[in-house]
Structure 1
């Protein structure tokens, strides 16, 4: 079957879909430019602070994840196999959250998630799915790593979501979701859908929107509200690295 053909199951014709992605990363002191890509694979990793450059672990894990996808058929990439292989080959010190999402045949997203990186699927003006997060306690997410007390791939959540052309996937680290409420993310994505913006344009707006409250000690944010529920009472946004990937589901 070629990429231009439709898929047919039980007499129902299903359109072959693809992802158009835009990514943006804002460090605490600088930002990277948005980049676009046609892909069937999304990977988000978090950063931790344990006295070592945890970014080395996250970068190595994600690079190994990309290499692991190259050994599998494009529309049949198994995110759990990717995570297992990447984890086994990552030797750097540190730890990282991880969220790996693939678009497979049958118009299904297959994903694995460890920690508080996450994603949501938006269809027009509605959030039709949001992935759960894994926390030991407030601001203490599960993280992959080589130390004994770190999570292992077998603890990852396995997720499947059916999608259709026009859907938008918002994936990101806690720097996004701790600083923006779901309704803010939905409103920004819905506006982009209505205006038919590209993924690169949408991701720029989403990342900048999250960056503003992250620097504001008076902002009302999900992080502030979660801290109060945990008895910590931390005001304002969460100053953190912000990684955002926006993907639009398109007909092939």
Structure 2
């Protein structure tokens, strides 16, 4: 999988088109002339214009059903099918360096995990469990006896969790895995790592957040009395060529609204972005939004609603992981 780790603010800045800053309120006017601002605003109006009501080929929904019947592979992570394929790219912008992710293009499976930062205050490596989950999941995929084998995400997450817990790995982590089996996208996730499936520039499926209370997500750990993979939300949707899957940790989804994700994807599609380019722009935008104290974010919006903090604004600085998968015809 193409992947990139951004490390400097200069890299973030170069990654984000001015049109996005102009459209979504993080445009840095002091760096540019008025004429350049107008050009960016005009480009934003063209690339980020709202779609007509019939812009999506299927009805839009934001729910994600916990339906065991939708995942008829819980006991075995292996499934076969190659009707469609994935092209992958990813970007990781670290703050605490507690996220991890993997992608296997041939097996058409991607995953992200976010270590629970609260363990840092206990002297525990908060990245240990997220890295254990992703390393073990990737190892299971890589050792498949038949190249191109497809995987059930819930069973793969279960296997990875069992192996990570058996090693008495410290800490805890949220996690999400999405796979393409034949022409069906399947998913399993725990906590606030999640995904969005876009079709025609609109979100077709979007994962909700599993949390005990605000900013306290469900999390997997080595403790048997805590959240288990059986608590994961699972589901599936028929995939089509041209669909785009955005998989990310809460560093993305706490800082970028769904309509902003849609706008960035439409812009990137119009400009011919590869998956890596799309992941870079999404992650870079999330990073700048996280540092803005003058604009709203999903994090501040939900904080006001759930905590009653009427003056809460701004983003949430955090590790940001974005994995982008384009659904494409299988390679012959």
Q: TM-score, normalised by structure 2?
A: 0.67
More helix by share: 2
2:176 aligned to which of 99, 113, 118: 99
Distance 2:96 2:214 in 1: 25
Query: C-alpha separation between the residues in 2 aligned to 1:231 and 1:133?
Result: 16
Measured in 1, the distance between the counterparts of 2:96 and 2:115 equals 15
Does 2:291 correspond to 1:215?
Answer: yes
Corresponding residue to 1:77 among 148, 151, 154:
151
Give 1:122 deviation, angstroms.
Answer: 0.8
Quote the Cα distance in structure 2 between the aligned partners of 1:93 and 1:232. 34
Q: How does 1:125-140 map to 2 (within 5 A)?
A: 125-140=201-216
SS in 1 for 2:88: strand
Task: Give the equivalent residue in structure 2 for 1:6.
Answer: none
1:26 aligns with 2:93: yes
Deviation at 1:181, TM superposition (A): 0.5
Residue in structure 2 matched with residue 123 of structure 1 by the alignment: 199
Question: Is this contact kept in 1: 2:175–2:189, CA < 8 A?
Answer: yes
Select 2:163's aligned residue among 82, 89, 93. Answer: 89
Q: Map 1:87-236; keep pairs closer than 5 Å.
A: 87-90=161-164, 91-105=168-182, 107-231=183-307, 233=309, 234-236=312-314
Please state how far the C-alpha of 1:217 moved relative to its aligned partner.
Answer: 2.2
* 1:241 pairs with 2:309: no
Offset, 1:112: 0.6
Q: Secondary structure at the match of 1:81?
A: helix
Q: Per-residue deviation at 1:207? A: 0.5
2:139 aligns to what SS in structure 1? helix
Q: Secondary structure at the match of 1:89?
A: helix
For residues 125 and 236 of structure 1, what CA distance do their matches in structure 2 show?
26
What is the CA–CA distance in structure 1 between the aligned matches of 2:220 and 2:96, rounded to whole Å? 26
What is the CA-CA distance between 1:235 and the residue it aligns to? Answer: 2.6
SS in structure 2 at match of 1:25: strand
Q: How big is the shift at 1:24?
A: 0.7
1:102/1:128 Cα in 2 relative to 1: closer, same or farther (>3 Å)?
same
Q: Which runs of 5+ in 1 are unaligned?
A: 1-14
Report the number of matched residues.
235
Task: Report the alpha carbon displacement of residue 149 of structure 1 after superposing the two structures with TM.
Answer: 4.8
* RMSD across aligned positions (CA): 2.2
Deviation at 1:222, TM superposition (A): 0.7
Which is further off, 74-83 or 176-185?
74-83
Superposition misfits of 4+ residues, deviation over 6 angstroms: none
Q: Which moved more, 1:67-76 or 1:194-203?
A: 67-76
- CA contact under 8 A between 1:36 and 1:200: conserved in structure 2? no
